[in-house]
Amino acid sequence: MRREIMKNKKITTSLLLVASIMIWGTIAWRVSKAIRKEDAPIEKSQPRTFVNKPDSAVFLLNYDDPFLKKPPGNSLQTGEEPKVDQDNPATNFSPPEPDVVQGPAFKFKGMLKAGKITYGLLVFEGETIMARTKEKVGDFYIVRITADKLVVRRQGLDMELFAE
């Protein structure tokens, strides 16, 4: 039994010695390869052509640049007014004139509930009519009906009519 243990120890020691020699041999080979390595010739590349494009970002309202931390322009510091081209929409800051939208030709008198359905009582062209939400009366669509007001929409503009 003792001989078998000794045999196993000799085999284990031999395997470990072979593995150690292989590992250290690999390390020595890589180090020597790195030391003996000749410098590769440096290839000269063609210089790239640089195109200086104008900046595509324009501060329309003369804000400070958050990255450069510099004032946006010298014209306001010297007291000169900036030049504005009225024909250019990028520099014309005046808002367009709002279109005048005529109010509805009917009056809201109140609300009537019949079960789950809500009607608005309207006086339109001398007649009292009942209208529901999403119905069209004249040029206006009924958006919402409450006890004290009626919300109508025309050309994307909402208007409120209060009960009389």
Residue 145, exposed/middle/buried by CB under 10 A (0-12, 13-18, 19+)?
Answer: buried
58 in a domain, yes or no? no
Q: What is the CATH number of the domain that holds 150?
A: 2.30.30.830
115-142 residue pLDDT tens? 888 999 888 888 888 999 999 988 889 9
Do the bridges between strand 106-114 and strand 117-124 make them parallel or antiparallel, or are there none, so unpaired?
antiparallel
Q: Is residue 78 part of a domain?
A: no
Please give the model's pTM, rounded to 2 decimal places.
Answer: 0.40
Residue 148 lies in a domain: yes
Determine the Cα–Cα distance for residues 74 and 116; give it in Å rounded to an integer: 66
Examine residue 101 and state whether it is found in any structural domain, yes or no: no
Indicate whether 92 belongs to any domain. Answer: no
Residue 71 tokens, joined: 């004032």
Which pLDDT value is given to residue 76?
47
Query: Would you write out the chain's pLDDT as a tens digit for each of its 164 residues?
Result: 566 666 788 889 999 999 999 999 999 999 988 888 765 566 677 777 766 767 666 556 666 667 776 655 544 444 555 555 556 665 555 666 666 667 788 888 888 888 888 999 888 888 888 999 999 988 889 999 998 999 999 888 888 988 88
Do 111 and 126 contact (CB within 8 A), yes or no? Answer: no
On whether residue 91 sits in a domain, the answer given is no
Provide the number of structural domains found in the chain. Answer: 1
**Could you tell me the residue range of the domain that residue 111 belongs to?**
106-162
